[in-house]
Structure 1
Amino acid sequence: MEYVSRDELRQQFTDTLGELMDRYHLDDAGVFEEEGPEERFYMGYTIRKSGHVYMIHLPYVKNEAEQLAVEKEEWTIEKDDGEEIDGIATLDEVFNKIH
């Protein structure tokens, strides 16, 4: 596993926001971050499309230095109505499910 700082990871997501908005025709997008139980952390995007809000994220694990590494390359979609869809391999698949 390759660990990176939380700030570096946040910057990687921030740097892709414009491309993400253009490619998937989003109304708005931002970086999503959430602490999980124990050594778990979630990071990805909060997006708004067609009046709905979605949190799209990957699971990460933290090491002793508070650096993060992807736990598994599977995206999760959390819808604004509380529904969750997980086990999605790519962002293209994520946005196919959102349409």
Structure 2
Amino acid sequence: MENLSREQLINNLQTSFELYINQYGIDDIGIFEEEGQDDLYYMGYTIKKDGKTYHIHRPFRKNNNGGLSPIENEWTIESDEPEKTDLKGYHSLDSAFREI
């Protein structure tokens, strides 16, 4: 699978900001990044909608040179509300956005 740089992934994610804001009624959108255990890295979006914040992301494997390659096409929704459970298993970004 192709390795992409962090910058390439961020550029790819940013190209759709305006589309997602208009299509899903999002108040604000930004980039989400998080280092996982070992060689895991998570990238996606931080979304603000209706006064709530969500992180929608997918896993990547990070190589020794910092290149990132997607592990699977499964998106996860995390809420900033501590009592909420992460929602996993969205096979398209569209389905994750519709959930929030």
Taking structure 1 as the reference length, the TM-score comes to 0.94
1:23 lines up with 2:23 in the alignment: yes
Structure 1 match to 2:68? 68
Residue identity matched to 1:7? E
Is the CA contact 2:33–2:42 (under 8 Å) kept in the aligned structure 1?
Answer: yes
Q: Distance in 2 between matches of 1:36 and 1:84?
A: 16
1:95 Cα deviation after fit: 2.1
Structure 1 runs of 4+ aligned residues shifted over 2 Å read none
Structure 1 match to 2:92? 90
Residue identity matched to 2:3? Y
Deviation track 1:32-56 (CA, whole Å, cap 9, x = no partner) reads: 0111111000000000011110000
Identity value in percent: 41
Ranges in structure 2 where 5+ consecutive residues have no aligned partner: none
User: Alignment length, in residue pairs?
Assistant: 98
1:13 lines up with 2:13 in the alignment: yes
Q: Distance in 2 between matches of 1:74 and 1:51?
A: 26
Ranges in structure 1 where 5+ consecutive residues have no aligned partner: none
Residue identity matched to 2:69? A
